[in-house]
Amino acid sequence: MTASLSVENLSVRYRTPQGPVHALRHVDIEARPGEVIGIVGESGCGKSTLVTALANLLPANASVDGSIRYGALDLTGLDERHRRALRGDEIALVGQDPMTAFNPVLTIGDQLVDFQHHRKHIGRAEKKKRIAEMLARVGISDAERRMASYPHELSGGMRQRVAIAAALLTDPGLLIADEPTTALDVTMEAQIIHLLRELRREYNGVIIVVSHHLGVIAELCDRVYVMYAGEVVESGDVDVIFHDARHPYTRALLSCDPARFHERLDSLPTIPGSLPNLTQLPTGCVYAARCAICFEPCLAHPPPTVHLSAGHTVRCHGAGA
C-alpha cells in the first residue's frame, strides 16, 4: 500500500511525577508517497517522541491529541491488535544503532526470515530467496554467507545495510530512518546516504529521515521540518530551508554548522542559552529567550503559523514583517 501521511495538530504529553511534560505541541506534517521528509532538530526538540508516535510505540504514560492519518486510517485511534498489524508490515523503522537492532544470538538470515512473519502465504525457502535479493539490493554481494553470520561478525556499515534490507523486506508504505548514519564513520555515512538515494528511485512509499546532522538532511530530503522544543518552527522545501530560512532558530542552527565554513574560525558560532523547561512552558514563543530579534509580542503570545509561500511555513512573530 502506498498512502499519504498527514499529521495534524499532534500533541504528546508525558505524565511524570514532576508534572506533565509537553513533549510535542501542535505538530503538522504532510508527506506524499515518494517523498523524503527530513525532521531536523537538536536534543530535546521532540524528534524521538515524533518517531515513536508515528511508529505507534509511545509508552503508557503518554497522552496524545490530534491525529496521524495514514491513508484512510487514523493511527492514534487504533487498538493494540491493529497497531501490531501495521508495525513491521506497513510501517518500518531503521534505528540509530545497528548493533542493538538485531538479536545477537540469531543469525542474520534467521532474523530476516522472522521479519517477514506477516507473509503467511510464502514458505521459508521463498522468504530466503527474497532476503538474498534484498541483500543484493542494499549492496551486500555475498548474501548467502552473510545470512549465516551473526550480527557481531558484521561491521557497523554492513549492519546498517542489513537493517535497511530488513525494513524494506516488509514492503512498508512508511519507512522511518531515525538517525540512520549517526553511529557510522564519514565514509560509511556517505555510502548509506548514497544507498538510500538509490533505493528511493524504486520505492514509492513515504520516507522520513530524522537527524540532527544538517549535511545528511541536505543530501537526502525533499522537504524539511525544523523542530525546536517540541514544535515545528519552520517547514519547507529543502532548498528554501537551507537558502531562505526565515525562523531565527533555523538560521542560528545553520550558522552553527562548522561544515559551512572553509576558512578557519577563531571561535565557532553557538546558540547562547538553553532549551526551555518542557514542564513549564513560556507563555510566548518557545525560542524567545535565545532569540536575537525577540521583541515584545514574542514574550506575551505564542507566535502564529505564517504561510510564506507554497509549502513554506514559519512559526514566528517576526516572519510577517
Partner 1 sequence: MSPIIATEDLSVTFARRRLSDRLLGLSPPPEFNILDKVSVALMPGETLGLVGESGSGKTTLARTMLGLNRASEGEIRFEGRTVKTESDFRVVRRKSAMMFQDPVASLSPRQRVGSLLTEPFVIRGMTMSDRKATAKALLAQVGLPTSFVDRYPHELSGGQARRIGVARALALKPSLLIADEPTAGLDVSVQGDILNLVGELKRELGFASMIVTHNLAMVRHVSDRLAIMYLGRLVETGPTQDVFDAPLHPYTASLIKSEPVPDPRRRRESLAIKGEIPSVFRRPLGCEFHTRCPFARELCRTVTPAYRTLVGNRTVRCHFPLENRGQEPEVLTGAFANSRGKKHDQVEYRST
Q: Which residues bind partner 1 (CB under 8 A)?
A: 42-43, 155-158, 185-191, 193-194, 212-219, 221, 238-239, 242-243, 252-254, 256-262, 264-271, 274
Nearer residue to partner 1 within complex by CB, 90 or 189? 189
Smallest gap from Cβ 243 to partner 1, in A, equals 7
Q: Which helix (H) or strand (E) holds 216?
A: helix 214-220
Pair 8, 69: CB distance under 8 Å: yes
Q: What is the DSSP string of 69-125?
A: EETTEEGGG--HHHHHHHBTTTEEEE-S-TTTTS-TTS-HHHHHHHTTTT-TTS-HH
Q: How far is the CB of 297 from partner 1 (least distance, A)?
A: 25
Beta bridge partners of 175: 92, 207
The answer to whether 224 and 241 have CB atoms below 8 angstroms apart is: yes
Phi, psi for residue 25 in degrees, rounded to 5 = -135, 120
CB nearer to partner 1: give 132 or 190.
190
- Smaller CB separation from partner 1, 20 or 269: 269
Q: What DSSP element (H or E) covers 143?
A: helix 143-147
- Minimal distance, residue 273 CB to partner 1, in Å: 9
Smaller CB separation from partner 1, 215 or 282 = 215
Instruction: Show the cell assigned to 313.
Output: 511555513
Cβ nearer to partner 1, comparing 274 with 280: 274
Q: How far is the CB of 154 from partner 1 (least distance, A)?
A: 10
CB 244 within 8 A of CB 314: no
Give the shortest CB-151-to-partner 1 separation in angstroms: 16
Give the residue from 89, 128, 136 showing the smallest Cα distance to 107: 128
- Which residue's CB is nearer to partner 1, number 178 or number 189? 189
Least CB distance from residue 52 to partner 1, whole Å?
Answer: 20
